[in-house]
Structure 1
Amino acid sequence: MDLTALLLARLQFAFTISFHIIFPAITIGLASYLAVLEGYWLKTGNTVYRDLYHFWIRIFAVNFGMGVVSGLVMAYEFGTNWSGFSEFAGGITGPLLAYEVLTAFFLEAGFLGVMLFGWTRVGPGLHFFSTLMVAAGTLISATWILASNSWMQTPAGYEILDGRVVPVDWLAVIFNPSFPYRLVHMGIAAFLATALMVAASAGWHLLRGNDNPAIRKMLSMAMWMLLIVAPIQAVVGDFHGLNTLKHQPAKIAAIEGHWENIPGKGVPLTLFGWPDMEEETNHFAVEVPHLGSLILTHSWDGQFQALKEFPRQDRPNVAIVFWSFRIMVGLGLLMIAMGVWAAWQRWRGRLYETRPLLRFALYMGPAGLVAILAGWITTEVGRQPWLVYGVMRTADGVTPHGALEVGITLALFVVVYFVLFGAGIAYILRLIRQGPVPDEGSAAMDGGPGEHRTPSRPISAATENPGANGVHTGA
């Protein structure tokens, strides 16, 4: 395989996973959001929560379907484009993905039908339990997927026998050094991305005069999530960064654009600049002295490994990692700012009337998903040139196809994905524009004679007393 074919194979997987990751992130967030909405409705009897549940479950269903379809493609891609990796590390990645199917996928499939179609067919307790199980399934699915990907970042609990990876400690494999940080970081990112989508939907309707209790509740809940969870994500990100510094120092050096240490001097934080891998420097750099040391070593003059300490062939693409990280962090700061601004307007009693805030919420709608994509680019490009960090190079894991074959399939993927998933996203946006319908499903959970739900006591479905017409009922 030539370099062009390798690059095309990487681009193809990057393209498919970038499309895929959007849908599971929203699925994770919406599933938990739906569980909260139904729980509040059952607890308070406030029909606003019920109306919001009916509104968002349709969006959840479409998004869930697209997530499943896009995920299947990547499973096949491991065999078609990355057979060397599958042969080398399949003893670990294969079982982890199988565990995801046996636990999360079966759990979701078992209760998804009840959640989507059982509102008028089962009791409220069973339906709520089904919603909880689907929400749990999405989180369990993320756990197994991230365990597999985290092992590629920080491999542990394995031996290499006859040129293949063999697991020797499954707990070490699953709970590898980066797994806890990445699981929490990704889970919070999914919740934030969903909150931003909900807030954008509410902002769009309020800006157009569609003001009702359901729309206000959407905005209020989303802004509370941002205010509380966005700062937590910043703290989790700091811990994740320290973990990455310990186990993947080249990635951190690329994130910081840190080329060399000067004896006795602290490391500055490069806010902006253009990393030049050929000249090994940053052009147009804007730096804050010592701040890099304070963030990553918690000391004024602390130092960490610089890019020049790694061979050129072991360095990731610095410019991509440098800027993708800053996009992620910049969007995170905007999320924190919007949460604080909303809290201020809430205190003033103008949360739903402040049009600049509503426009900000609308424009920030895609920000959570863009931040997730930027974070994944940072993670995956920063791991290069390793497919399994420090163990297997990316060039050694690819299937030896020619550039023409990989290029044709990449072009087909681009066309099909934009047509298929573009139509799905357009449909989701159309549903969002419709907004929640007041009093939707108001009688759906009442049950009893003449109602839609099958009653728990079949005889109570009769419309009349059996003995009313003189029919002897016994004894």
Structure 2
Amino acid sequence: MFDQLDALLLARIQFAFTVSFHFIFPAFSIGLASYLAVLEGLWLKTGDDVYRDLFKYWLKIFAVAFAMGVVSGIVMSYQFGTNWSVFSDKAGPVIGPLMAYEVLTAFFLEAGFLGVMLFGMNRVGRGLHFTATLMVALGTFVSAFWILSVNSWMQTPTGYEIGANGQFLPGESWAEIIFNPSFPYRLVHTVIAAYLTTAFVVGGVGAWHLLKDSANRHARKMFSMAMWMAALVAPVQIFAGDMHGLNTLEHQPVKVMAMEGHYESHPDGAPLYLFGIPDDKEQRLDYAVGIPKLSSVILKHDPDAPLAGLDTVPDADQPPVFAVFWAFRIMVGIGFLMLGIGLWSLVARWRKRLYDWRLLHRAAILMGPAGFVAVIAGWITTEAGRQPFTVYGLLRTAESASPLAAPAVAMSLLAFVLVYFAVFGVGTWYILRLMSGAPHAGEKGVKRTEKGPVRTAGITPGPTQNPGKDPDTLPSSQQEARDGV
């Protein structure tokens, strides 16, 4: 059976599967690390224990998500050597150092301060602990910086030379490689997406607990903060996405043709197709529903501006339009839904119903996982739209794969599917279980037992440097007195 399958297709499916799993966790941990830094900073500034409680509540969730992100990332990187050895050989001199910089800067920074952040709140000074939290948040951003630089170079390669053996070699300036034409736009768009993803998870959890108890101060605080993020940042993301799209039009016009479903060139202004069924074989968009000339207005700021279509591109150089066309619409549609929730929350604040408008809370719960769907859809748009190249315009995907037989790739893909759904399924279930518990005064953080660190709540901690003075070890009656309950 496996002999009848295509090894290249299986390798692409395997990489898409592992990247999709991996991308979910960094998209969450990047935003959550910054949210934790904000919570701890507000606690130190105001002295309001609700921020400290929320910090400890989300710290447990961050610990699990961060661990799963690291594990899934390590496994994914092995595929460069197993399934994509030709790509690694050709592009390694350029992308290898960039990925090494990610380890030497971001990973070491996170690893150096993560233990203090998770277990040190009652063992080190407040200033040092806050510094550790800031460093972990910075580390997640630096990690995104290097990884997105690598990906952006594959999309818009610059600053390279071609060696005698066909390798891509760094030119005179590494800055030209790192800050390639699409990198600034992709970095801003992706990081904001991570922040919005986290905001809607936090908002969904807050809404869930408000439906159970609208007087829960902790749920009110997290829901309010999340809705401010949605209202203020969603418009910025839409603008950033538009700028990114214009940059893509300049450097990867074929990708934009696929995103827009433009099989035919439009010399007098192109329509914006809202819906349709792309047919690559017949080179047409069936059942198209569009707005005349609006695509030219968005992309060229001129309703009569001509736009080229896929009829100007050889079939062998075209991306899979169906995947790109619909992934792009899913991403954009979720972006506008996020904006709608943010505007709705502003109306709720104005009417003083932010904490008791149950329809808004139910909508926020439904939108809780929307950020993950949007980032995966955005990734599909970016990566599928780059096809049939791994290094855009220079190295084809078919020329990048390892010389493996289909059965070997199929068996490893099957193993990945089984292990990933088992391991990360359990991890996701545990995160949801943590979220299902309402935050409360005297929230317990990540605890360390005598046998080592344990990422869970409610486990009796081992002795600290100041036994009896750790606020989380006080009897419940003293905790309530301390928190003014």
TM-score normalised by the shorter chain: which range applies? over 0.9
**Match in the other structure for 2:125:** 123
2:211 pairs, out of 192, 207, 211, with 207
**Match in the other structure for 2:315:** 312
Residue aligned with 1:266, SS:
coil
Letter in 1 for 2:150: S
Asked if 1:229 is matched to 2:233, the reply is: yes
Residue aligned with 1:271, SS:
strand
**Match in the other structure for 1:332:** 335
Counterpart contact for 1:17–1:74, Cα < 8 Å: yes
Q: How many Å apart are 1:307 and its aligned residue? A: 0.6
Letter in 2 for 1:203: A
Q: How many Å apart are 1:452 and its aligned residue? A: 4.1
In 1: Cα distance, 2:304 partner to 2:160 partner: 37
Of 198-207 and 77-86, deviating more is 198-207
In 2: Cα distance, 1:39 partner to 1:342 partner: 25
Q: How many Å apart are 1:261 and its aligned residue? A: 2.1
TM-score (norm 1): 0.92
Paired-residue identity, %: 60
1:98 pairs, out of 92, 100, 120, with 100
Spell out the pairing of 1:57-456 with structure 2 (5 A cutoff).
57-162=59-164, 163-168=166-171, 169-209=173-213, 211-263=215-267, 265-440=268-443, 451-452=469-470
Counterpart contact for 1:223–1:342, Cα < 8 Å: yes
In 2: Cα distance, 1:211 partner to 1:16 partner: 42
**Match in the other structure for 2:476:** none
Letter in 2 for 1:386: F
2:48 pairs, out of 46, 49, 53, with 46
Letter in 2 for 1:251: K
Residue aligned with 1:207, SS:
helix
Residue aligned with 1:200, SS:
helix
In 2: Cα distance, 1:343 partner to 1:349 partner: 10
Residues 393, 183 of structure 1: alpha-carbon distance in 2 compared, 3 angstrom cutoff: same
Counterpart contact for 2:235–2:339, Cα < 8 Å: yes
**Match in the other structure for 2:450:** none
In 1: Cα distance, 2:151 partner to 2:273 partner: 29
Counterpart contact for 2:28–2:197, Cα < 8 Å: yes
Residues 107, 209 of structure 1: alpha-carbon distance in 2 compared, 3 angstrom cutoff: same
In 2: Cα distance, 1:262 partner to 1:35 partner: 50
**Match in the other structure for 1:460:** none
In 2: Cα distance, 1:441 partner to 1:418 partner: 29
Counterpart contact for 1:2–1:402, Cα < 8 Å: no
CA deviation profile, 1:396-436 (whole Å, cap 9, x unmatched):
11001111111111111011000000000000000000121
CA deviation profile, 1:113-136 (whole Å, cap 9, x unmatched):
000010110010000000000000
Counterpart contact for 2:266–2:309, Cα < 8 Å: no
In 2: Cα distance, 1:448 partner to 1:399 partner: 57
Residues 262, 349 of structure 1: alpha-carbon distance in 2 compared, 3 angstrom cutoff: closer
In 2: Cα distance, 1:436 partner to 1:448 partner: 25
Residue aligned with 1:159, SS:
strand
Q: How many Å apart are 1:2 and its aligned residue? A: 9.0
Letter in 1 for 2:86: G
Counterpart contact for 2:266–2:308, Cα < 8 Å: no
Deviating beyond 6 angstroms after TM superposition, the runs of 4 or more aligned structure 1 residues are none
Q: How many Å apart are 1:4 and its aligned residue? A: 1.0
Residue aligned with 1:286, SS:
strand
Counterpart contact for 2:54–2:443, Cα < 8 Å: no
In 2: Cα distance, 1:449 partner to 1:316 partner: 63
Q: How many Å apart are 1:449 and its aligned residue? A: 9.4
In 1: Cα distance, 2:14 partner to 2:214 partner: 42
CA deviation profile, 1:15-59 (whole Å, cap 9, x unmatched):
000000000111100000000000000000011100000000000
Counterpart contact for 2:205–2:365, Cα < 8 Å: yes
Counterpart contact for 1:37–1:50, Cα < 8 Å: yes
When the two chains are superposed, the root-mean-square deviation of aligned CA atoms in Å is 1.7
**Match in the other structure for 1:18:** 20
Q: How many Å apart are 1:440 and its aligned residue? A: 2.9
Residue aligned with 1:228, SS:
helix
Letter in 1 for 2:469: E
Of 432-441 and 321-330, deviating more is 432-441
Asked if 1:8 is matched to 2:10, the reply is: yes
In 1: Cα distance, 2:221 partner to 2:303 partner: 46
Letter in 1 for 2:161: E
Letter in 2 for 1:134: V
Letter in 1 for 2:107: F
Residue aligned with 1:193, SS:
helix
Q: How many residues are matched?
A: 450
Counterpart contact for 1:269–1:292, Cα < 8 Å: yes
Q: How many Å apart are 1:266 and its aligned residue? A: 0.7
Q: How many Å apart are 1:74 and its aligned residue? A: 1.4
Residue aligned with 1:254, SS:
helix
Counterpart contact for 2:61–2:434, Cα < 8 Å: yes
In 2: Cα distance, 1:175 partner to 1:373 partner: 24
Q: How many Å apart are 1:262 and its aligned residue? A: 3.8
In 2: Cα distance, 1:175 partner to 1:451 partner: 50
CA deviation profile, 1:87-129 (whole Å, cap 9, x unmatched):
0000011100100000000000000000001011001000000
Residue aligned with 2:6, SS:
helix
In 2: Cα distance, 1:305 partner to 1:395 partner: 26
**Match in the other structure for 1:471:** none
Residues 448, 19 of structure 1: alpha-carbon distance in 2 compared, 3 angstrom cutoff: closer
